[in-house]
Amino acid sequence: MAFGVSMYNVSWVRSHADAVDMYNKATAWRGEDPDGERPLPQKRSRDYGVRMDGTDVVFRMYHTDVVTWHKDGSHTVNNGGYHTNSTCAFASNFMPNRHWLQKDATHLRIGDRIYPIAGHKVTVSADGVPSGEGLGEFVKRTVNRKKSKVLLEAQGYPAYRDWYNTMFPMVRETLPPTWQRKYAPASYIEAALKDPEKWHELMMSQSGTPAQVREMMYRVHGDRHDMWDYDRRDSVASSHGYEVRVKE
C-alpha cells in the first residue's frame, strides 16, 4: 500500500449505521453499476472504495478490504499483509471511537489496551472484544541473570571486564576512531577471553567493550544455555520492550 495516505477530508465512520450512511451518500463512478462499489465521498480515486456486501459495508484500499462493518455492530480489520502507515491511517478512519490500528498495522489499540496482530484479519465485537486468526501475542525476552552468570563465568568474561575497567581509562585518549579499529568476530572474542595476552588487542578492537562482549555471548550461546525468560501476553497497556509474534 502507498505511504502516507491522507484521510483529512473523509468523514469518520464509527458504527455500522455510519458506514451505511457513507455508502448511501457516495455516488457511483460514471458509467459504473450504481449499486456496486462507490468512491469515498470527497476522495474519488479508484484506489479507494466503499461497497455493500449483503448487510456488510466494506471499505477498500487498493486491493485489500481493510475494514468491514457488520450489522451486529462488530467490524473486521484486515491489513492484508501490508504493514504501513497508510494501512493504519485508512483503517483508523473507519473504526469506532478509541479504536486505532498502529505500529505498521501490528498493534490494535482498543481504549487503554493494545492487542498484537501477527496475521491479517481480526474481528472486534460491538463491545470491543477482538478475535480471529490475525491475533498474535506480545513477547518480551529478558535475560535470566542466574543462568547468564554461569555462562559468563565459564567464558572468562568477569576477569576481562574487571581488567578492561582498570585499563581502559589509561588508553582512552590514544584510541583511534572506531572505523579504524579491527572488527573482532565472535570466535576471536571467545578465544581472546581465555587468553589474557590477547585482552589488549580485544580492548582496542571495534568489539571489545564489556557490553559488546556480553551481548555477543548472549547472542551466540543464549538459546543453548536456556538463558532467556519470556513474558507472553495477549494484550498490554504499553508495548515497550515487547515483540509481536505468532501465538504458539
pLDDT over 60 (residue 3): no
Statement to judge: residues 153 and 208 lie in one domain = yes
DSSP readout, 27-77?
A: -PPTTS-TTS-BPBTTB--TTEEEEEETTEEEEEETTEEEEEE-TTS-EEE
pLDDT score of 2: 44
pLDDT score of 8: 87
pLDDT over 70 (residue 71): yes
Statement to judge: residues 27 and 106 lie in one domain = yes
Statement to judge: residues 87 and 26 lie in one domain = yes
Statement to judge: residues 152 and 135 lie in one domain = no
Statement to judge: residues 58 and 109 lie in one domain = yes
Name which of 170-174, 194-198, 209-213 the model is least confident about.
Answer: 170-174
**Distance in angstroms (rounded) separating the CA atoms of residues 103 and 138:** 13
Statement to judge: residues 162 and 189 lie in one domain = yes
Please give the average per-residue pLDDT across 44-63, as a whole number.
96
Statement to judge: residues 94 and 191 lie in one domain = no
Place of cell 572468562: 156
Please give the average per-residue pLDDT across 194-199, as a whole number.
97
- Does a structural domain hold residue 177? yes
**Distance in angstroms (rounded) separating the CA atoms of residues 101 and 190:** 44
- Does a structural domain hold residue 169? yes
Global model pTM greater than 0.85: no
- Does a structural domain hold residue 229? no
Residue 195 is placed in which grid cell?
A: 587468553
Amino acid at residue number 9: N
Q: Which residue has the higher pLDDT, 5 or 116?
A: 116
- Tally of structural domains, the chain: 2
Which of the four pLDDT bands, split at 50, 70 and 90, describes residue 90? very high
**What length is written for the chain?**
248
Statement to judge: residues 83 and 177 lie in one domain = no
Q: Which residues contact 55 (CB under 8 A, 6 or more apart)?
A: 70, 71
Mean pLDDT of the chain: 95
- Does a structural domain hold residue 77? yes
pLDDT score of 248: 81
Statement to judge: residues 26 and 90 lie in one domain = yes
Per-residue pLDDT tens digits for 125-153: 999 999 999 999 999 999 999 999 999 99
- Does a structural domain hold residue 112? yes
pLDDT over 50 (residue 27): yes
**Distance in angstroms (rounded) separating the CA atoms of residues 91 and 103:** 12
Query: For residues 30 and 51, is the Cβ–Cβ distance under 8 A?
Result: no
pLDDT score of 1: 41
Please give the average per-residue pLDDT across 65-94, as a whole number.
97
Cα-to-chain-centroid distance, residue 132: 18
Statement to judge: residues 84 and 184 lie in one domain = no
Statement to judge: residues 105 and 199 lie in one domain = no
- Does a structural domain hold residue 55? yes
Q: How many CB atoms lie within 10 A of CB 208?
A: 21
pLDDT over 90 (residue 28): yes
Range of the domain at 27: 16-139
Residue 202 is placed in which grid cell?
A: 580485544
Statement to judge: residues 30 and 73 lie in one domain = yes
- Does a structural domain hold residue 231? no
Residue-wise over 211-238: b if at least 16 C-beta within 10 A, else e?
eebbebbbebbbeebebeeeeeeebbee
